[in-house]
Structure 1
Amino acid sequence: MSADVHTVTEPGAYRPVPVAEHLPRRLTICLWDFSWYVRSGEGEPFEDLDAAAAATVMRGYNTVRICAMPFLLFGADLDTSDITLDRLGGEYGQGVRWYDVSSPTRFDGRAKLIELFEVCQRHGLFIILSSWEYQQSASFSTSSDWWDALAAVDPEDRCVRLADALADLVEFVRDLGLEDRIAFTELHNEVATGHLVDGLDADTDLAKVVALTPRLDRGLARFHDRQPGQPVTVNYSRVPVGAFRGIPREIDVFITHPYVYGVLDEITMAFDLRGPLATFPRVAVEAAGLLRAGAPAADEWVITGEMAWKMDATIVGRGEIFLHDWVDAEAFDRYLYERYESHRVEMSRILTTWLDAAADVAIARGIPFAFGEGWIGYTPLHGNFEEGPVGAEYCRFAIRESARVGAWGTIVCSNAAPHHSMWADVALQKWCNDFFLSTDPPATHS
């Protein structure tokens, strides 16, 4: 591949790095996120990566999307030969999806990465490289070193540092003959949601998308300079309709996370789950019957002492963690079902509109597009709304819509992965993946 495929010849002109010919015509994506290493201890879903990969392929997936811990392994001056990870602290976060770590894990970081690539090669899986490090990955460490190193980087330089770390990672796996496993690379997960936006003069989600662009542009340019043959991009939570002007010019794939929320937003907004703990509406939450007996005061449900740094290392709302840890999951599901009908039409309309909008952006640029997470939202660990009949039908609906708009890649659901209960619904995942793979390839990846 020519080394100048990314050259900008004039303002507005960009030649995207093409999708490699050996990659699948459609990507059926399973969200292994940071769990593939955080949840690798005894009895955990990723203790045996070979078994996890075999189960992933059996369900019809051909791609995993991961936090490759690039900053830790290649961007920080830290000894990564003996990494120890564990839960956040005691029972804190144990009712939260992705956070319910039951066993500690200890490994050599680069050896773990090699193992992942070799396992994926054996099972025919491809990898979307990303990072969750400026959102939560470091919060599982038993030492603050990882988080301290992340926080020490000037916010203006964080995207470039990530780009360099990811470029080093690509070189590392290339030297091992494993580069062909990479589908494409993301500078970071959900770039406008987390510590990449620190210091920006922006107070809304859409404003952050636009204000962040210069930082992203520098990071993308650095990666392209160092790895001109590797497609690179950034991704966004939801689909940033109203801020498309902020999407960097030099992306090679457009990837978004269409979480429609809808009825779930009713809970989030009614009980201010992403607001400060000091104003958590305890009386209203109890009146709705959502708390289990014995729940402490919300502002007491925090990590203190020498591990207090973890509260900064994760961006999940503190009120949300409190409710998810102490929720009556059955009551939570019932609350959603009782209110779902008033949101049903709008949720479907938003999902269709967002997928159409994402397709339009990508087609206008001549690049492939994918959906890396979605569909309803972030429910408590033991809630089953998204795994139940309503959520499962959204999975089928979203797969049909992903195929209709010509997506290169999509997911069954963010919760369809080895560390979530939806993993048990094999039939749903096989149907969704088989349907998506059976449709015509998108025009941007023929």
Structure 2
Amino acid sequence: MTERYLGAGTIARDHSQLTGVVPAHLPQRLTITLWDFSWYTQAGPGQPYEDLDAVVADAASLGYNAIRICAAPMLMFGGLGLDDLARDLEIEGLGPAPDGGFYGQRTRWYDTAGGFRVDMFARTRQLFEAARRHNLVIVLASWEYQQSASFAASPRWFEAMDAIALDGRYDALAAAWTRMIVWLTEAGFRDMIALVEVHNEVDFSILPDITLPAGRAAVAGLAEAHPDLLVTASYGKPPHLSMHEVPEELGTAQFHIYSYGVLDELQKRIDIRSEGTEDFPNATLRSLMRRDAPAFGEYGRPLDWKMRATVITDQMVYGYDWVDPEAWDGWLNEHYAPFAEVMAREIESRVIAIAEWARWRGIPAMVGEGWIGYTPLHGTFEEGEIGRGLAEHGIRTALARGVWGMVLCSNAAPHHPMWQLREWQRAMNAEILAA
């Protein structure tokens, strides 16, 4: 068949131009390292973020030009009577475990040993000052209705936020952000704000549906009050098959692109994300666990308030703390082949969906997290050849579709083993910035 029968759909089109206008003072491509809440929960002696200037300089040396963080606006500027706590925040993590370690010790993101105090006002200034010295911008978000408060020794932070009625939480977040933006502006940092996310992953947090009037009004009001800033909220799983449902008030298409695929198959078989399962851990999970793993009941769980302050479950804490990472990786590698094509297609199709929605709306697009999903701290599936290949596919698809900012991988950050893949990070960041 010749091309004269193939129709207009065969005409090549260039979608690589940015989906929307980026403020002139910001980089025209962002390569983002995801520091979430870890930049203050893993900041003790000998921990990854102990020396902020050094770790920001390290990120810059790898080619990053943006850092995405939980800025803790509700703690610092929520008007909740927590100023004293914010200035002297004791970090505990999920708490001590019976084996002499701590809950979450072999998880990603939750491996917080605690044992130190932090002044969040001073630390935030230090981060912005370090970022200024090393030419990075900051993506501001909040994980506070998802898990940030669970790492504190005191329940006051969580309890003060939890006391706010569900339908009032977006208004409270918007008010806190306004006060924080004013504070950052007075400190001379406004031009370093790449994006303000009312909250991280609103679809996976203790918040109402963002499409309801309260959520939409909060985003719109914050954007109206700060018209020079990009304001949005992020989705953990964008409705890529029905993007018309996404609120038009979002000023940036900040979506997270995860293709769990083979990982999801394993998680379902071992029932690791549920809670209250009668026969947990089941035989499949037991076959993947370390020989020294205690019984589930023997290991126990973090304090009840900490579990209410986070969206993970006690089965996840136990499972990831005691799974054998080599056995975990072995299962994923052995079962990956049937999922390979669909995982690559999922990443590609979801990136295209969010990019073209952004282009239709005339706003910048960002992949603030991705690409495979949540694995044990010392698992190497995502850092390995398969995971890197999927990440590269996602990055190159994003560049080809005009996405403004992206992570190399959610695990490419100082508190993850993937940070040691230094030449790979330099090469991928150079490729992004060359676009």
What TM-score do the two structures reach when normalised by structure 2?
A: 0.90
The corresponding residue for 2:410 is: 414
Gap change, CA 1:301 and 1:192, over 3 Å in 2 = farther
- For 1:107-126, what aligned pairs fall within 5 Å after superposition? 107-126=118-137
- State how far apart, in whole Å, the 2-side matches of 1:232 and 1:104 are: 35
The corresponding residue for 1:10 is: none
Between 51-60 and 222-231, the greater mean CA deviation after superposition: 222-231
The corresponding residue for 2:90 is: 84
SS at match of 2:277: helix
Q: Which amino acid aligns with 2:75?
A: L
The corresponding residue for 2:68 is: 65
Deviation at 1:381, TM superposition (A): 0.6
Moved over 4 A (4+): none
1:374 aligns with 2:378: no
8 Å contact kept, 1:238–1:260: no
1:325 aligns with 2:321: yes
SS at match of 1:358: helix
User: Which of 358, 361, 372 pairs up with 2:354?
Assistant: 358
Deviation at 1:286, TM superposition (A): 4.6
Q: Mark the runs of 5 or more structure 2 residues left unpaired by the alignment.
A: 1-18, 97-101
The corresponding residue for 1:3 is: none
Deviation at 1:411, TM superposition (A): 0.9
The corresponding residue for 1:24 is: 27
SS at match of 1:277: coil
1:171 aligns with 2:182: yes
Deviation at 1:281, TM superposition (A): 4.1
RMSD across aligned positions (CA): 1.7
Deviation at 1:243, TM superposition (A): 4.1
Q: Which amino acid aligns with 2:24?
A: E
The corresponding residue for 2:15 is: none
Q: Which amino acid aligns with 1:46?
A: Y
8 Å contact kept, 1:41–1:105: yes
The corresponding residue for 2:203 is: 192
Deviation at 1:250, TM superposition (A): 1.2
Deviation at 1:89, TM superposition (A): 1.0
The corresponding residue for 1:269 is: 268
Q: Which amino acid aligns with 2:129?
A: E
- State how far apart, in whole Å, the 1-side matches of 2:151 and 2:321 are: 17
1:313 aligns with 2:306: no
8 Å contact kept, 1:355–1:401: yes
- State how far apart, in whole Å, the 1-side matches of 2:39 and 2:285 are: 36
Greater relative CO, 1 or 2 (CA 8 Å, sep 6+): 2
Deviation at 1:87, TM superposition (A): 2.0
8 Å contact kept, 1:324–1:380: yes
- State how far apart, in whole Å, the 2-side matches of 1:359 and 1:213 are: 23
Between 335-344 and 17-26, the greater mean CA deviation after superposition: 17-26
SS at match of 1:256: strand
1:139 aligns with 2:137: no
1:96 aligns with 2:99: no
Count the aligned residue pairs. Answer: 409
8 Å contact kept, 1:369–1:409: yes
- State how far apart, in whole Å, the 1-side matches of 2:280 and 2:434 are: 48
- State how far apart, in whole Å, the 1-side matches of 2:111 and 2:319 are: 14
SS at match of 1:235: coil
Q: Which amino acid aligns with 1:118?
A: E
Gap change, CA 1:318 and 1:215, over 3 Å in 2 = farther
- State how far apart, in whole Å, the 2-side matches of 1:53 and 1:280 are: 45
8 Å contact kept, 2:270–2:282: no
User: Which of 293, 299, 311 pairs up with 1:295?
Assistant: 293
Between 72-81 and 134-143, the greater mean CA deviation after superposition: 72-81
Q: Percent identity of the aligned residues?
A: 42
Deviation at 1:333, TM superposition (A): 0.3
